[in-house]
Structure 1
Amino acid sequence: MYQQYFNFSEPPFSISPDPHFMYMSERHQEGLAHLLYGIDRGGGFVALTGEVGTGKTTLCHCLLQQLPANIDIALILNPKLSAIELLATICDELGIEHDGMTAKSLIDAINQYLLAAYANGRRTVLLIDEAQNLSLEVLEQIRLLTNLETSKAKLLQIVLVGQPELNAMLVRRELRQLNQRITARYHLLPLSFDETKAYIQHRLRVCRGSHRLFSAAAIRRIYRYSAGVPRLINILCDRALLGAYATDAGRITPAIVNRSARETLGLKSWLPRWLPAVAAAVLLTGAMAGGYVWRHELALLRPAKLLTVPEAAVSKPVAAQPERPAFRAWLEYSAPAFDAALGELLRMWGAAVPAGRMADCRYAAELGLNCLPGTGNWKDVLALDRPALLEFADGQGRKRFVPIQAVEQGRALVLAGGAIRFPLADVLADWDGNFLLLWRSPRPGVSEIAAPQKSAEVLWLRDRLGQAMQLAKAEAEPDYFDDTLKRQLTEFQRLQHLAADGIAGARTLIHLDNLTGAADSPHLQAGQR
């Protein structure tokens, strides 16, 4: 719902265990290293534990992607099985055919499979998630599976993943034989505050969002509510983004996080732990003081004489005014309207606007320049690398446009009747994501190349894609837009984080032009090229 509002390429805070979003904190790196070490040694057990929502399942999915090609894995996600059902599930996961449903027939079938796999240079891993739900009978059967071996090696490696209750089970006397066979174990802890901040910003970057979307105070509040548990962080951030969308807010504040926590975690509100005690003490002190005064006889009280103070002698309190960033003040009082801002943008391209002529996209087209309006984040604008107009709203809701010629060392060079430099962070803090830039096509008069076009522009596109992607050049390339060209173009767009539609439109042509220098165009990052 809020994906388009914030210009996300995909929802950033889904609770599904997607390795694409995997944030490898120091703890997760250690956990993955323990898993890989235990599997690399071969044989025995590996145990990974952690509280609910700390990222155990996601870490396991990451592990699956890093296993060597010669490893076959049986993944069991529902461990509430009997011993016979567990053996049958292992056979199903590994594609082992079996004749019956007795323990002997199933174990014999598994043993034959493991021996054949070992002879072919393959290894087998059994990974059981939510292992704290295993019964003692099933755990004993799992231990017996590690007895399947040759004279030199164990045939089955077992990874147990579960909540802290798994550790409590493993130390029981009746499971001491299994516990002694664990060759690597790791307990996954929640994230620290710094890791929580990096985690949120990482997921925003993956979906091409602004890493400044959550204020520092909002992130602190999220950490207090979630205690650094990634699943709770995801739930809070997802609801906070929905709340910002519903209230048309451009940034996540602590107030939005508080409301999200009430809606998702069932919390009334956030209060410091010491506040209820202090409040109770204040109330008690007030009650005692009130009782003391009440016990005094009212007759002892005498009416006090009123003291008159001249009004001029009383100093009136001065309301504290928050310091306003220089950019915000300039935006309120000096930022130009659209035609004036576009005129500045044209001047950056070396074009002047004649007296009596309005600066608009029609006039830009007469000069061989194209207008490209868009909605996105600052990363999108930087990737296009052209001077741009950023759209804002002032305090009265009026649209204002900021013509940015360049960015240098964290500052934005704004041209509006003169050159002004503002901290880039101040500029982006109030930006709503709308922009417009001018661009010149690297092929004059061409703004799109697509199927089923047949022209010299298609040959030009093949040549540029070949340079950009280092493709082997055919002796005779067709001048029509075929499926091969579309596949190459789609792959290029994917690598450049563009819409992979197989059409060379404005943004694709700009990216292709940038890869060869775009010498005929001014650049937003000219000082960094």
Structure 2
Amino acid sequence: MYETFYNFRERPFNLTPDPRYLFLSQRHREALAHLLYGIRQRCGFVLLTGEVGTGKTTLCRALIKSLDPDTEIALILNPNLSAVELLQTVNREFGLPGMSESRKALVDELNAHLLARRSAGKNLVLLVDEAQNLPPSVLEELRLLSNIETETEKLLQIVLVGQPELNDLLALKDLRQLDQRMAVRYHLAPLNLKETAEYIGHRLHVASESPRVAFSRPAVHRLYAFSRGAPRLINVGADRALLIGFTRGCRRVTHRIVGLALREIRPPRRTDRHRLMTAIAGGCAAALALAGLTFAIRPDARRAAFETAFALRDRGTLARHGGEVRKVRIVTPTSFTVVPESDLPLTRSPELLFTRLAAQDTGHAWASAVNALLRRWNAKMISGADVGYDVLIAADEAGLRCTRWEGDLLGLTKINLPALVEIEIKDAGTRYVTLVGYDERGFLTNLDAETRVPVDTLRPLWTGSAYVFWKNHENLEGNLEDGSRGPAVLWLKNALTRLGFYKGAPTQEYDAQLHEAVAALQAAHGLTPDGIVGSQTKMLLYSALESYPTPHLMAKP
């Protein structure tokens, strides 16, 4: 519909898994390398997991194109089969009759074929997509197929691709033998913000050598906040945004156009798996919250019990009721104890904080971080789904401005405002943490009220992006710079006078002396000393002046 308007050969954000549009992020390159290694080294079982829409099926199609001519592959896309039906399908995919209803006959037929093809120098691969839908009996049948081998190597390489629920399935006691045979494992995490921008640009240029459309940076950020880095959701949002841009005759997709598109799209919801885990956690908490006597237990058992209690508390299942101090029964396999919840010790390990954060639902973790920042401003809490997981909308709903910070991590301490920082956790993807305090020992975060995170611990995880909320108390619109005139310039001169940077006359003209004073203020706080009062300099001024109610990272001397 909009292809001619934007000079596209085809729609760039189709949902079909077309290998031509494969965008190889660092994670996708690693995933493809793991798959190829497992197949070429004849490792037997290879496992690839990833959340819905992260590009697993597209990656599998790229894998098929990457295999050498001596590799023959059977692809099963619909695994809702019985054990016998699976064997019949596998045999037919390899060009065998697969007509028998006898399991033994089918296995014998496949075994003979594998031996013959191995003698011809061939490597046979069975790839099963959506493997989380396989019943345990069929997974066990796959394990038995892997027993077809010579004295030195496996004759059939089996690649299982599925959602994270597949890991839960393999963790079942009855499937422990299969789980132990997974020689190569990889979890495909979503894209980060930078990769999301690259992904959008990549698909535009595959669809056209010279596309007549571009996505603004705020538009990309809004798509990322909605999709949380899942390519399928990026495609859904970007396609709808292009359609709205076409109807309005716009060749630049803006933050507003994306917002209009997302209103027509259902926001991401928690999966059934997450709801199930929350229900289980709630049931465990109810069982734990029983009053009773205190028994002595071994120190190592007590530590293990505390860690269990922490995990539940982090999910919000051990909340207080009003001012009442609850007592929590902590159970271990050999003993239990009952202590006031307030006596539960806080962890002193920053690394453990990030491990817990990685285990949380992405949407829940995002909302917790944003609401921690809103609390510092005494603003109303929000629901992530209500604002489309968009930090700009969250700030706007609270009557605040949001400025993206791209500088040194310690530079945030110079403006002295709480900030939402974007981090990347291996095998978990992008997460957000709110910095609420700082001293020479490190940052305090929304993850733990007492544990300091050293800068050297946080810096390797930081993506380079942070978001700072601030209030435009004086309603200063646009930049103040050379040539500006009016009451806003007079306010700026008075503000810099109070801060000790300006000693000239309080006029309404932006003169050279004011330019030098602004540049000196910026240099003193780690900003680019360009003498232009933009959003970062405005929030710095409001933070530095005591006359404006503003939360701070560090207490003022």
Q: State the TM-score, normalized to the length of structure 1.
A: 0.52
Tell me, yes or no, if the aligned pair for 2:79 and 2:129 is still in contact at 8 Å. Answer: yes
Shift in alpha-carbon separation, 1:47–1:213, aligned structure 2, 3 A: same
Shift of 1:86: 0.2
Q: Secondary structure at the match of 2:75?
A: strand
Partner Cα separation in structure 1 for residue 167 and residue 122 of structure 2: 30
Q: Secondary structure at the match of 1:264?
A: coil
**1:261-302 C-alpha deviation (Å, 9 max, x unpaired):** 1112257654648659958xxxxxxxxxxxxxxxxxxxxxxx
- The structure having more radius of gyration, on CA atoms, is 1
Shift of 1:97: 1.9
Residue 161 (structure 1) aligned with residue 161 (structure 2)? yes
Give unmatched runs, 5+ long, in structure 2: 268-384, 400-473, 481-557
Shift of 1:254: 0.9
Shift of 1:154: 1.3
Partner of 2:217: 216
**1:401-424 C-alpha deviation (Å, 9 max, x unpaired):** xxxxxxxxxxxxxxxxxxxxxxxx
Question: Which residue identity lines up with residue 261 of structure 1 in the other structure?
Answer: L
Partner Cα separation in structure 2 for residue 52 and residue 156 of structure 1: 28
Shift in alpha-carbon separation, 1:5–1:217, aligned structure 2, 3 A: same
Kindly report the root-mean-square deviation, in angstroms, between the aligned alpha carbons of the 2 structures: 2.5
Partner of 1:91: 91
**1:57-106 C-alpha deviation (Å, 9 max, x unpaired):** 01100100011111110000001100000000001111112452110111
Shift of 1:240: 0.4
Superposition pairs of residues 122-133 of structure 1, within 5 angstroms: 122-133=122-133
Partner of 1:32: 32
Shift of 1:150: 1.8
Q: Secondary structure at the match of 1:36?
A: helix
Partner Cα separation in structure 2 for residue 130 and residue 173 of structure 1: 21
Partner Cα separation in structure 2 for residue 320 and residue 49 of structure 1: 48
Tell me, yes or no, if the aligned pair for 1:201 and 1:211 is still in contact at 8 Å. Answer: no
Shift of 1:29: 0.3
Partner of 1:206: 206
Residue 185 (structure 1) aligned with residue 203 (structure 2)? no
Partner of 1:231: 232
Partner Cα separation in structure 1 for residue 175 and residue 190 of structure 2: 28
Superposition pairs of residues 318-397 of structure 1, within 5 angstroms: none
Partner of 2:254: 253
Question: Which residue identity lines up with residue 263 of structure 2 in the other structure?
Answer: R
Partner of 1:50: 50
Q: Secondary structure at the match of 2:23?
A: coil
**1:175-215 C-alpha deviation (Å, 9 max, x unpaired):** 11111111110000000000000000111111224486101
Partner Cα separation in structure 1 for residue 228 and residue 45 of structure 2: 30
Q: Secondary structure at the match of 1:157?
A: strand
Partner Cα separation in structure 2 for residue 154 and residue 213 of structure 1: 50
Tell me, yes or no, if the aligned pair for 2:84 and 2:102 is still in contact at 8 Å. Answer: yes
Tell me, yes or no, if the aligned pair for 1:43 and 1:146 is still in contact at 8 Å. Answer: no
Question: Which residue identity lines up with residue 102 of structure 1 in the other structure?
Answer: S
Tell me, yes or no, if the aligned pair for 1:38 and 1:46 is still in contact at 8 Å. Answer: yes
Question: Which residue identity lines up with residue 163 of structure 2 in the other structure?
Answer: Q
**1:151-172 C-alpha deviation (Å, 9 max, x unpaired):** 2221100000000000111122
Give unmatched runs, 5+ long, in structure 1: 280-316, 324-529
**1:385-412 C-alpha deviation (Å, 9 max, x unpaired):** xxxxxxxxxxxxxxxxxxxxxxxxxxxx
Question: Which residue identity lines up with residue 113 of structure 2 in the other structure?
Answer: Y
Tell me, yes or no, if the aligned pair for 2:170 and 2:179 is still in contact at 8 Å. Answer: yes
Tell me, yes or no, if the aligned pair for 1:221 and 1:254 is still in contact at 8 Å. Answer: yes
Partner Cα separation in structure 1 for residue 182 and residue 35 of structure 2: 11
**1:294-344 C-alpha deviation (Å, 9 max, x unpaired):** xxxxxxxxxxxxxxxxxxxxxxx9996789xxxxxxxxxxxxxxxxxxxxx
Tell me, yes or no, if the aligned pair for 1:43 and 1:156 is still in contact at 8 Å. Answer: no
Question: Which residue identity lines up with residue 35 of structure 1 in the other structure?
Answer: L
Q: Secondary structure at the match of 1:4?
A: helix
Tell me, yes or no, if the aligned pair for 1:126 and 1:156 is still in contact at 8 Å. Answer: yes
Partner of 1:508: none
Which segment is superposed worse, 257-266 or 179-188?
257-266
Shift in alpha-carbon separation, 1:176–1:212, aligned structure 2, 3 A: same
Partner Cα separation in structure 2 for residue 169 and residue 211 of structure 1: 47
Shift in alpha-carbon separation, 1:276–1:170, aligned structure 2, 3 A: farther
Partner of 1:145: 145
Partner Cα separation in structure 2 for residue 190 and residue 319 of structure 1: 38
Partner Cα separation in structure 2 for residue 257 and residue 218 of structure 1: 6
Partner Cα separation in structure 1 for residue 477 and residue 160 of structure 2: 60
Partner Cα separation in structure 1 for residue 72 and residue 135 of structure 2: 25
Partner Cα separation in structure 2 for residue 21 and residue 231 of structure 1: 12
Question: Which residue identity lines up with residue 120 of structure 1 in the other structure?
Answer: A
Q: Secondary structure at the match of 1:117?
A: helix
Partner of 2:109: 109
**1:204-242 C-alpha deviation (Å, 9 max, x unpaired):** 111224486101110111111111100000111100000
Shift in alpha-carbon separation, 1:250–1:108, aligned structure 2, 3 A: same
Shift in alpha-carbon separation, 1:222–1:276, aligned structure 2, 3 A: closer
Partner of 1:392: none
Tell me, yes or no, if the aligned pair for 1:82 and 1:138 is still in contact at 8 Å. Answer: yes
Shift in alpha-carbon separation, 1:150–1:320, aligned structure 2, 3 A: closer
Shift in alpha-carbon separation, 1:318–1:147, aligned structure 2, 3 A: closer
Q: Secondary structure at the match of 1:5?
A: helix
Shift in alpha-carbon separation, 1:275–1:219, aligned structure 2, 3 A: closer
